[in-house]
Amino acid sequence: MTLTETPATTTGGYMGFIGVSTGSSSIMRVFPAWAEVLGLPTADLVGHDLPMDATPAQYVAMVERIRDDPHHRGALVTTHKMNVFAAASDLFDELDPFAVSCAEISSISKRGDRLIGRAKDPLTVALALNDFLPADHFARTGAEVVVLGAGGSGTALSWALAERADAPAKITVTARDDDALAHLREVHRQHGTPEGLLSYARTDTVQEAAAVVASAPAGTLIVNATGLGKDRPGSPLPDDVVFPEGAWVWEFNYRGSLEFLHQARAQEAAQGLHVVDGWRYFIHGWSQVVADVFEIDLTPEIVERLAEAAESVR
């Protein structure tokens, strides 16, 4: 559905999805299956597409629409989560601590006449990471982490890694924007992240980013948190990048042109890489927000049932 459409039947209301190209997301096929598994009051999901260069007024109008429409149950926010906070945070009656600290909103829900904004990414990214990375990986190998991108997802991952029992010795976050790196540095200062754990690298070209990746030790976790390969084509790395031997390479996206994922798979055998796409991140991200919107207590067993249902319509 487009921004202007609403479901023909609104008896149980509907949930929203604020993104860039929501119609091509698997959630449009997955959500009705999840509604059946969870016994939700509605199986209707409405996509709210906003351009990458949306204006503050567009974000305000979107949040006001969710707040004022009695049939609208709430929404998941993807690409626009930092911009939603910047433009419309004052419209919310309650914001969780991570939303305030990181200046982003990924989950919009309602409790009576109160509008609630939460940032679920630190939880969902940690759940997805724990699904594939051994619990003792960093202590056992001495590996590091390189996060390509200092936006909402990159910030959440760096936060989750800093809280991990098996934390890496070093996390390097790259960005082409000094303001993004300054924001991330302030987030970690306020959080009390240990000095020296985070390194902030300004990379103006893909070659500079490739140099950061190539210099990382064996077994390092390399993550594409830029959004490139999903909402916009491209990769933060050039095709001739050399991944560290035995690296874990995580593409946050599961749909789109996925250039970064293809680059990693091209070296998978030669470099002994462990290549992971964003499907489980998608499962955790959506299930946590659906649970937030509809006030459901998720258990690991329920999440696995949702994963099975999603796989059947992927």
Pairing of strands 221-224, 94-95: unpaired
Return the residue matching tokens 């210099």: 215
- Residue 165: what pLDDT? 95
Return the residue matching tokens 């601590």: 97
pTM over 0.85: yes
Return the residue matching tokens 């009051």: 41
Return the residue matching tokens 């309650």: 94
How far apart are the C-alpha atoms of 5 and 260, rounded to whole Å?
34
Pairing of strands 72-77, 14-19: parallel
Q: Which two tokens stand for residue 313?
A: 């319509």
246 or 21, greater pLDDT: 246
Of 157, 159, 266, 274, which Cα lies nearest the Cα of 220?
A: 274
Q: Which two tokens stand for residue 217?
A: 């030790």
Would the pLDDT of 275 be above 70?
yes
Question: In whole numbers, what is the pLDDT of the chain averaged over residues?
Answer: 94
Question: Which tens digit of pLDDT belongs to each residue from 177-192?
Answer: 999 999 999 999 988 9
How far apart are the C-alpha atoms of 171 and 15, rounded to whole Å?
36
295 or 11, greater pLDDT: 295
Return the residue matching tokens 């560290």: 244
How far apart are the C-alpha atoms of 27 and 278, rounded to whole Å?
13
Pairing of strands 107-111, 94-95: unpaired
Question: Which tens digit of pLDDT belongs to each residue from 92-144?
Answer: 999 999 899 888 999 999 999 999 999 999 999 999 999 999 999 999 999 99
Question: Which tens digit of pLDDT belongs to each residue from 184-234?
Answer: 999 999 889 998 999 999 999 999 999 999 999 999 999 999 999 987 899
Q: Which of 1-10, 60-69, 286-295 has the lowest mean pLDDT?
A: 1-10
Amino acid at 176: R
- Residue 1: what pLDDT? 35
The Cα-based distances of 194 to 152, 157, 162, 198 in angstroms read: 20, 16, 8, 8
Q: Which two tokens stand for residue 80?
A: 């626009």
- Residue 10: what pLDDT? 55
- Residue 314: what pLDDT? 78
Average pLDDT over residues 261-279: 98
Would the pLDDT of 8 be above 70?
no
